[in-house]
Structure 1
């Protein structure tokens, strides 16, 4: 069932790319590269959220980084 969700995300990604690609123009190579890279990153993150629905948030990342530093500064 999870693979069906990934296929759905892929279908939406392909439809979006086919719809937007002609609007980017011929001479805008940098825009096309940025569009593809951001789209692929979004597709990857969307696919990962299907398999791992409860990832840690950014505050937990900051806590993991600065908690040992805070303990060092308390001593």
Structure 2
């Protein structure tokens, strides 16, 4: 089932790129590169969450980083 989700997410990203890319002909290379990088980052994060749903999120990272400082302030 997970691989089916991976295929669906990948097809959705490819459809999005195929739909949006012709509109990017008038934009600069920098904007095209930004679109490609943000799309790739979103695709990778989505695949990680599909394959490993128990991964800690950003809230757990902030708690880990700033937890000791919070205890000092109490």
My pick for the range that moved more, 53-62 or 40-49, is 53-62
Aligned length: 74
Unaligned runs of 5+ in 2: none
* Residue in 1 that maps onto 2:39: 39
Report the TM-score when normalising by structure 1. 0.79
Q: Following superposition, which runs of at least 4 residues in structure 1 exceed 3 angstroms of deviation?
A: 68-74
- Larger radius of gyration, structure 1 or 2? 1
CA distance in 1 between counterparts of 2:40 and 2:27 reads: 21
Unaligned runs of 5+ in 1: none
Report the TM-score when normalising by structure 2. 0.80
